[in-house]
């Protein structure tokens, strides 16, 4: 007799559960997705002991017919797909028919459901995949699924669960994300007796962001509005037009997070992790923010279902785009254009007396969350494997190393989340924050021969003269390169540079780019090059350092990034070497020239390496500090 056997459903479900159900948050994710697929507008989550003891998701969705209630627990039983062709156009969050049987195989599960089409509903009770009971029951339309004692029969999995607070943080993160994706629906999350999230339906994403993250965060964010780009696709000699749309919120370059935890990506309403979109986002901030920093971003990309394959992984958190590079460039350009148009300035942190809670149940709640010991942030480079692993709710009790922005360290977010209607009117974006006012700044003088102090319509400004000039030159170099008229200066004596074997390889590879950037160089013997001309403005003493720096950039970047990115990095290095330094006295006309030139740049807010250029002490803050308002 052969040795191969077909596994029983019970074993198969447990195996599937290994992929689908990693931790309590994965259960919440699957149940929430089912509720959303069922058209629910009110979603309520109850949790006990970080989800170990109890997870309950109740909805007012379509409910299930009595006959379907049992079927839902069969492997690959779904109401959302019927044909393999449907896989190409999945409009629901679920489609694999794996979640319910998987969850039921590793917990004690109770389903209570009624479809509006029937007068009585059904209850189904399953423990460890075994059916315990199945009854008719009265009750309101909708579905409630209660999952108790997760992993009670899989001790190995149970051991991997983290503290209750950590598991709860993952759940809270998920609930928050889904609430952002569906502003028109109400979401509630309770842990024991505490209400962690309670948002009522609102019309716009903006209002939902306000409910979830609060006023201050919203003021700091840039609304992407709604951007669309079309793509003509020719298939089987038929031309179709595909529309891609992007909306959401992003932070200005001055918000610099040390990890990706504040980046939320949704594709067709589905929360995902995606390298392509992540890269597009980083490219948008290239030369605006230091390389190892990340912004806050809440991005919703919508496109035809045919354009994106969601059937990549059982947890459905990865996608594959059919026209990846189109999507990448669309997202990068839309964000970059918006960043450039918004020109947000860095404020000077002003210490104000602690604000009284003004009758809001803030402080009490913040205290409650702060009392929970959350775990440290993961290593910035460790990309979590699953959405549920994004520790969005990491909290620190002491002042954080990051100066001002704590979007996702969500004590604040959650604190505001449960008092949605008491904030008063929606704030408008403080337009004075924009660097558009730079053009009529009046220089008053310098501090330490390094920073220009200037008076403006909207307050006092401090401008770092070196990085300001760096930005001006950077854009000038890029422009000249694009137009093919780079200014170069001949050196009196060629500079000879000895290259390592690695540098020789890079040199051979980018010699054309060096030439394009204004260098005139050629091999001189086997491992030496002679540089005869350099970009204008770069002093002879800097040429050697600059060439080595560029070779290093090429070594680090060329295999991975586009030629465009390499050129930008080279331009940034050239600008840095040619820019006026700090500790240099400037006369009034020089300062004026610098400010006018800066105002004319595309991105006066940060230098090409991502450092801020200008700080503003707004009139409002000045008045506040003198207790005049």
- Which residues of this chain interact with Mg ion, rule CB under 5 A? 34, 94, 99
Q: How far apart are CA 330 and CA 247, in angstroms?
A: 12
Q: Which one, 387 or 460, has the nearer CB to ligand ADP?
A: 387
Among 43, 50, 95, 128, binds ligand ADP (CB under 6 A): 95
Instruction: Based on the shown chain and the rule CB under 6 A, indicate whether residue 288 belongs to the binding site for ligand ADP.
Output: no
Which of 30-38, 155-163, 390-398, 399-407 is the region at the interface with ligand ADP (rule: CB under 6 A)? Answer: 30-38
Question: What is the spatial distance between Cα 324 and Cα 321, in angstroms, rounded to a whole number?
Answer: 5
Q: Which is nearer to ligand ADP, 96 or 488 (CB)?
A: 96
Least Cα distance to 268 among 250, 284, 245 occurs for 245
Give the C-alpha distances (Å, rounded to integers) separating 230 from 306, 332, 519: 14, 15, 40
Question: Phi/psi class of residue 51: alpha, beta or left (left: φ > 0; alpha: ψ in -120 to 50)?
Answer: left
119 or 428: whose CB is closer to ligand ADP? 119
Please report whether residue 80 would count as binding ligand ADP according to CB under 6 A. yes
Among 41, 79, 400, 489, the residue binding ligand ADP under the rule CB under 6 A is: 79
Does residue 99 interact with ligand ADP by CB under 6 A? Answer: yes
Give the nearer residue to ligand ADP in terms of CB position, either 65 or 561. Answer: 65
* Binding window for ligand ADP (CB under 6 A); candidates: 94-102, 244-252, 425-433, 481-489: 94-102
Among 47, 54, 100, 212, binds ligand ADP (CB under 6 A): 100
121 binds ligand ADP (CB under 6 A): no
Give residues with Cβ within 8 angstroms of 82, minimum separation 6: none
How would you class 351 by CB atoms within 10 Å of its CB: exposed for 0-12, middle for 13-18, buried for 19 or more?
exposed
Q: E-assigned strands of 236-291?
A: 238-251, 263-267, 270-272
Q: What is the total count of residues that contact ligand ADP (CB under 6 A)?
A: 22
- Residue 187 lies near ligand ADP (rule: CB under 6 A): no
Distance CA 488, CA 543 (A): 12
If the CB atoms of residues 78 and 251 are measured against ligand ADP, the closer one turns out to be 78
Q: What is the distance between the alpha carbons of residues 394 and 163, in angstroms, rounded to a whole number?
A: 13
Q: Which is nearer to Mg ion, 211 or 317 (CB)?
A: 317
**Backbone torsion region of residue 353, taken as left when φ is above 0, otherwise alpha when ψ lies between -120 and 50, otherwise beta:** beta
| Nearest CA among 594, 257, 315 for reference residue 438 | 594
Nearer to ligand ADP, 99 or 168 (CB): 99
The minimum distance between CB 77 and ligand ADP, in angstroms, equals: 6
Provide, rounded to whole angstroms, the least separation between the CB of residue 147 and ligand ADP: 12
Instruction: For residue 307, give the nearest of 319, 315, 297 by alpha carbon.
Output: 319
Instruction: State yes or no: residue 178 binds ligand ADP (CB under 6 A).
Output: no
Could you tell me the smallest distance in angstroms from the CB atom of residue 385 to Mg ion?
20
Residue number with CB closer to ligand ADP (124 or 171): 124
Minimum CB–partner distance for residue 114 and ligand ADP (Å) = 10
Do residues 196 and 174 make contact, with C-beta atoms less than 8 angstroms apart? no
By CB under 6 A, tell whether 35 contacts ligand ADP.
Answer: yes
Closest CB 238 distance from Mg ion, rounded Å: 33
408 interacts with ligand ADP by CB under 6 A: no
The listed partner (ligand ADP, Mg ion, none) that binds 78, CB under 5 to 8 Å by sort, is ligand ADP
Examine residue 78 and tell whether it contacts ligand ADP (CB under 6 A): yes
13 binds ligand ADP (CB under 6 A): no
Q: Does 608 bind ligand ADP (CB under 6 A)?
A: no
Q: How many helices (H) and strands (E) does the chain have?
A: 18, 23
Hey, CA dihedral for 581, 582, 584, 586, is it positive or negative? positive
Minimum distance, C-beta of residue 34 to ligand ADP, in the bound complex (Å): 3
CA atoms within 13 A on the CB side of 509: 18
38 binds, among ligand ADP, Mg ion, none (CB under 5 to 8 A by kind): ligand ADP
CA dist 315 and 239 (Å) reads: 34
Residue among 145 and 575 whose Cβ is closer to ligand ADP:
145
Q: Measured from the CB atom, is 61 or 535 closer to ligand ADP?
A: 61
Q: Which is nearer to ligand ADP, 43 or 486 (CB)?
A: 43
The beta strands (E) that lie in 103-199 are given as 108-114, 121-127, 130-137, 142-148, 186-191, 194-199
- Is residue 311 part of the contact set for ligand ADP (CB under 6 A)? no
Q: Which of 146/476 has CB closer to ligand ADP? A: 146
List 12, 25, 32, 38, residue binding ligand ADP (CB under 6 A):
38
With beta carbons less than 8 A apart as the criterion, state whether 493 and 486 touch. no
Q: Do residues 511 and 545 lie in contact, with contact meaning Cβ atoms separated by under 8 Å?
A: no
Site string for ligand ADP, 58-77 (x = CB under 6 A): -x-xxxx-------x----x
> By Cβ distance, which residue is nearest to ligand ADP?
94
- CA nearest to 532, candidates 498, 492, 570: 492
Structure tokens at 49: 């002991």
For CA atoms 59, 65, 69, 72, give the dihedral sign: negative
Q: How far apart (Å, rounded) are the C-alpha atoms in residues 387 and 356?
A: 36
Q: Which one of 105, 107, 143, 188 is in contact with ligand ADP (CB under 6 A)?
A: 143
Q: By CB under 6 A, name the binding residues for ligand ADP.
A: 30, 34-35, 38, 59, 61-64, 72, 77-80, 94-100, 143
């Amino acid at each position: 007799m052969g040795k191969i056997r077909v596994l029983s459903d019970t074993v198969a479900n447990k195996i599937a559960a290994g992929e689908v159900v990693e931790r309590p948050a994965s259960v919440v994710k699957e149940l929430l997705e089912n509720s959303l697929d069922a058209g629910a507008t009110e979603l309520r989550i109850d949790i006990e002991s970080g989800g170990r003891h109890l997870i309950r998701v109740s909805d007012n969705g379509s409910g299930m017919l009595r006959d379907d209630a049992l079927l839902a627990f069969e492997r690959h039983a779904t109401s959302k797909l019927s044909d393999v062709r449907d896989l190409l156009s999945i409009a629901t969050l679920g489609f694999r028919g794996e979640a319910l049987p998987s969850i039921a195989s590793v917990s004690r599960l109770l389903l209570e459901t009624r479809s509006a089409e029937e007068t009585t509903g059904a209850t189904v009770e399953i423990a460890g995949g075994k059916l315990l009971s199945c009854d008719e029951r009265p009750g309101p339309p909708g579905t409630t699924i209660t999952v108790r004692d997760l992993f009670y029969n899989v001790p190995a999995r149970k051991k991997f669960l983290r503290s209750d607070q950590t598991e709860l943080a993952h759940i809270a993160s998920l609930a928050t994300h889904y609430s952002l994706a569906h502003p028109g629906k109400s979401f509630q999350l309770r842990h024991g007796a505490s209400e962690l999230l309670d948002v009522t339906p609102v019309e716009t994403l903006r209002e939902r962001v306000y409910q979830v993250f609060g006023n201050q965060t919203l003021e700091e964010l840039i609304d992407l509005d709604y951007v669309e780009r079309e793509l003509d696709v020719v298939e089987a000699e038929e031309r179709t037009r595909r529309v891609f749309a992007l909306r959401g919120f992003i932070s200005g370059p001055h918000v610099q997070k040390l990890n990706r935890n504040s980046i939320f990506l949704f594709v067709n309403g589905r929360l995902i992790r995606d390298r392509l979109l992540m890269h597009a986002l980083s490219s948008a901030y290239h030369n605006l923010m230091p390389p190892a920093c990340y912004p806050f971003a809440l991005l919703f990309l919508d496109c035809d279902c045919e354009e994106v394959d969601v059937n990549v992984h059982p947890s459905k958190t990865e996608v594959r785009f059919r026209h990846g590079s189109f999507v990448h460039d669309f997202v990068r350009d839309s964000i970059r254009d918006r960043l450039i148009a918004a020109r947000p300035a860095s404020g000077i942190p002003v210490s104000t007396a602690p604000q009284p809670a003004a009758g809001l149940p803030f402080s009490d709640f913040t205290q409650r969350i702060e009392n929970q010991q959350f775990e440290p942030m993961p290593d910035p480079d460790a990309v979590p494997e699953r959405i549920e692993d994004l520790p969005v709710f990491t909290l620190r009790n002491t002042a954080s190393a990051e100066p001002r922005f704590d979007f996702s360290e969500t004590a604040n977010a959650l604190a505001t989340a449960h008092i949605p209607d008491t904030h008063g009117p929606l704030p408008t974006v403080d337009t004075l924050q924009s660097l558009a006012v730079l053009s009529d700044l009046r220089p008053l003088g310098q501090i330490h021969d390094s920073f220009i102090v200037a008076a403006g319509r909207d307050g006092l400004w401090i401008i770092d003269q070196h990085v300001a000039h760096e930005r001006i030159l950077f854009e000038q170099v890029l422009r000249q390169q694009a137009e093919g008229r780079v200014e170069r200066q001949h050196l009196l004596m060629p500079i000879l540079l000895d290259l390592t074997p690695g540098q020789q390889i890079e040199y051979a590879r980018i010699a054309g780019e060096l030439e394009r950037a204004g260098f005139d160089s050629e091999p001189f013997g086997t491992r030496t090059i002679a540089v005869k001309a350099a970009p204008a403005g770069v002093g002879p003493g800097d040429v050697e350092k600059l060439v080595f720096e560029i070779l290093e950039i090429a070594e680090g970047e060329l295999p991975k990034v586009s030629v465009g990115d390499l050129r930008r990095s080279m331009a940034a290095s050239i600008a840095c070497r040619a820019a006026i330094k700090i500790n240099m006295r400037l006369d009034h006309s020089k300062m004026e020239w610098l400010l006018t030139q800066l105002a004319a740049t595309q991105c006066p807010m940060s230098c090409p390496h991502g450092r801020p250029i200008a700080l503003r002490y707004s009139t409002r803050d000045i008045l506040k500090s003198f207790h005049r308002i």
